[in-house]
Structure 1
Amino acid sequence: MKYYIISGEASGDLHGSNLMKAIFEQDLKAEIRFWGGDLMAEVGGTLVSHYKERAFMGFAEIITNLSKIFSFIKFCKKDILKFNPDKIIFIDNSGFNLRIAKWAKINKFRTVYYISPQVWASRPGRVKDIKRDIDEMYVVLPFVKDFYKKYDYNVNFVGHPLLDAIANRKKIHEIEFKKQHNLSDKPIIALLPGSRKQEIKKMLSIMLSVAKKFQDYQFVIAGAPSQEYDFYKQFITDENVKFISNKTYELLSISYAALVTSGTATLETALLKVPEVVCYKTSWLSYQIGKRLIDLKFISLVNLIMDKEVVKELIQEDFNKSNLEIEMKKILNDSERSKMFLDYYDLEKKLGGVGASTKAAKLIVSTTPKL
């Protein structure tokens, strides 16, 4: 069959690449055309558009780039018609994907969604449109299946693909890794300030503000593959701070603690068993709009899945040097760390074990193709 896959950021590229591998294993004649990134490109198929071209963050930035976004939507529709796939697979990225899905359904394409839009977090009214436009929905969080059940929409929980990505990660030797990247023997505190320039600007300076208070540790910035070192170096003023690009899993696997920008990385950090503080700060306008749209007790996936505060969340004005120092001391404390580790193991059990990509691919390949 022919598959057209649309993902929109680094995490979608990761999950898309694992799904593509599984599809190629299940369907030896598969043809795949996709919107994604470097990881998906390494698997095979044809890359149409890189997610870096569409990395718009926050309500304000999206509004100022509406013309670009609409041009991408127009081009995507034309490209789908030309390729004429048996199935269109959407990965997260709801703002873009749900618009394409509505059009695709009208044009009689079979539509698949892998990793549900976060309608459980905001604007649940969108479920009506999802039920109308999506033929197959595969969710990766256990509570999302229960959410959809309330709307009489039957979806498949396949487990979380991060478990696959972590299980398949490249294993490293700690001493060699530290030597290769000019790191000292001090325990590592990893800093994950996000992947987009706007969020890195807001997050990294505050994260680094506590470095001088913890001289017994070395702080290491996990650089995103979408950004160059020249962008990060403006924030680095302390010799106790190092930088490593595009090796987040390797870095986390040898880290003692981490400061993590809210998003998929909070779950990755927890599954790699690293005590963390979750941080989030955006523009005043974006925060005010988001606060009115999102109805959740927590913002981090770790706490949402566990339905309790496992990791501390410092949001907007609470994300400051004083609070960060207090929470840092807690995650470096042995008793606090022990409690967090126990919760992390329970978290992993709730996510259903490895094999999400294969489960999803088997269902996608075996179900009805184009209408």
Structure 2
Amino acid sequence: MKFYIIAGERSGDLHGSNLIKALKQQRPNAEIRCWGGDAMEEAGGELVTHYREMAFMGFFEVVKHLGTIRKKINFCKEDILSYKPDAIILIDYAGFNIRIAKFAKANNIPVHYYISPKIWAWNQKRAFKIKKNVDYMYVILPFEKEFYKRYDFEVDYVGNPLLDAIRDFKPSQNFAFKDKNVIAVLPGSRQQEVEQMMENLQKVTVEFSQEHFVVAGVKSLDKTLYSKIENQSNVSLIFDQTYDLLSNSKAALVTSGTATLETALFNVPEVVVYKTGTISYAIAKKVVKVEFISLVNLILQKEAVKELIQEKFTVKNIADELKHILPKGQKRAQILNDYKNLKALMGDENTSQKTAGMILERTILVDL
């Protein structure tokens, strides 16, 4: 049995790797070719293209790289036809994967979509394209099942794979900051995200000279992106140890994305920050249909964690909000209580195993 899996960013690589492990556990002879990252390759997938080659953020940035994206899409289509998979598994990554879904459907290749694109945030009419070209959708956010019902598309809520990843996490006994109450900084996995965070972090740390900040770096990015904090005495930089860091942190500054939910599931009070290019943000303001950008707030449908977006992403605002969530801060207790409600809403499914089982069962039925 052969599968072709496509993930286009770091979080997709994490979830894709756990799905690959589950597929191989249930079907040891399964062959998997993939677009993703180091984690998917280590899990047993044959890596075709690394996500760092496709990590474009924001409307303007995507437009600038349209030529590259088109070439990648064409190559992907040729590679799929050459590989002849029994099914394609798409992971988030809307702009690319929705095109591949249409192509696969036209070529009679079953399409499984694991982790819905965030079309409920903007361009909701994409739900019609998904319904037309996707055979099975496995959603990981509680409200997504109801969203798709509005388009008469029955999807499967399988729980959230972050719960699997955190459940399987084993803290390192050699972690450099073990048992220290540090402030975690999760600046994202894209170059622009890191640049924006490092610019302000350098100034924020001066106001918290008695605290120690630890930045979760990403090895696939150029290390010089983190150079602004190299000479800060109360700032350290580590790579690919995010869960160890979160398990030893008392608060966090987090760039919007999957990391906001990971931080909450580790019970770490956080401030969510995000800044993109001026043009991209102006376009986003016109098309985005949701009130919040962090997954925590979207699931809870309230501002449980503070979001500092674009012009609100200032040194003063970051410092003020950070004080509120540190031990004895006035917002800390409420955030921790909201996290309890968050976990109750998400449930406790063994997501990777459940999804793998459903994909395998449906693929076998097609082959019969």
Equivalent positions of 1:159-174 (< 5 A) are 159-173=159-173
Residue 153 to residue 347, structure 1, CA distance change in 2 (3 Å): same
3-state DSSP of counterpart to 1:13:
helix
Aligned: 1:42 with 2:46 = no
Residue 186 to residue 154, structure 1, CA distance change in 2 (3 Å): closer
CA distance in 1 between partners of 2:367 and 2:276 (Å): 41
CA RMSD across the alignment:
1.6
- CA contact under 8 A between 1:115 and 1:140: conserved in structure 2? yes
Alignment deviations for residues 195-214 of structure 1 (CA, whole Å, 9 cap, x no partner): 11112111221133211111
Equivalent positions of 1:202-217 (< 5 A) are 202-217=196-211
The alpha carbon displacement at 1:333 in A equals: 4.4
Equivalent positions of 1:39-78 (< 5 A) are 39-78=39-78
Alignment deviations for residues 26-55 of structure 1 (CA, whole Å, 9 cap, x no partner): 223211111111001011131111111111
CA distance in 1 between partners of 2:187 and 2:233 (Å): 19
Q: What residue number does 1:369 align with?
A: 366
Deviates more, 1:361-370 or 1:245-254: 361-370
- CA contact under 8 A between 2:57 and 2:190: conserved in structure 1? yes
In structure 1, list runs of 5 or more residues that go unmatched: none
Q: What residue number does 1:271 align with?
A: 265
The alpha carbon displacement at 1:170 in A equals: 2.4
Alignment deviations for residues 91-123 of structure 1 (CA, whole Å, 9 cap, x no partner): 000110001111110111100100001111111
The alpha carbon displacement at 1:65 in A equals: 1.1
Runs of 4+ in 1 over 4 A off after TM superposition: 183-186
- CA contact under 8 A between 2:194 and 2:225: conserved in structure 1? no
2:175 maps to which of 160, 174, 177: 177
The alpha carbon displacement at 1:185 in A equals: 7.8
Q: Counterpart amino acid of 1:94?
A: A
CA distance in 1 between partners of 2:289 and 2:43 (Å): 38
CA distance in 1 between partners of 2:182 and 2:162 (Å): 23
Q: What residue number does 1:342 align with?
A: 337
Q: What residue number does 1:291 align with?
A: 285
- CA contact under 8 A between 1:148 and 1:155: conserved in structure 2? yes
Higher relative contact order (CA 8 A, sep 6+): 1
CA distance in 1 between partners of 2:122 and 2:222 (Å): 33
Q: Counterpart amino acid of 2:356?
A: A
The alpha carbon displacement at 1:370 in A equals: 6.4
Identity %: 52
Aligned: 1:328 with 2:322 = yes
Q: TM-score, normalised by structure 1?
A: 0.95
Deviates more, 1:62-71 or 1:229-238: 229-238
3-state DSSP of counterpart to 1:29:
coil
CA distance in 2 between partners of 1:13 and 1:312 (Å): 27
- CA contact under 8 A between 1:220 and 1:242: conserved in structure 2? yes
Q: Counterpart amino acid of 1:326?
A: D
CA distance in 2 between partners of 1:163 and 1:213 (Å): 35
2:256 maps to which of 238, 256, 262: 262
In structure 2, list runs of 5 or more residues that go unmatched: none
Q: What residue number does 1:313 align with?
A: 307
Equivalent positions of 1:64-143 (< 5 A) are 64-143=64-143
Q: Counterpart amino acid of 1:317?
A: E
3-state DSSP of counterpart to 2:298:
helix
Residue 44 to residue 73, structure 1, CA distance change in 2 (3 Å): same
How many residues are paired up? 365
CA distance in 1 between partners of 2:353 and 2:216 (Å): 29
3-state DSSP of counterpart to 2:175:
helix
- CA contact under 8 A between 1:34 and 1:48: conserved in structure 2? yes
- CA contact under 8 A between 1:19 and 1:357: conserved in structure 2? yes
CA distance in 2 between partners of 1:168 and 1:230 (Å): 32
CA distance in 2 between partners of 1:232 and 1:184 (Å): 22
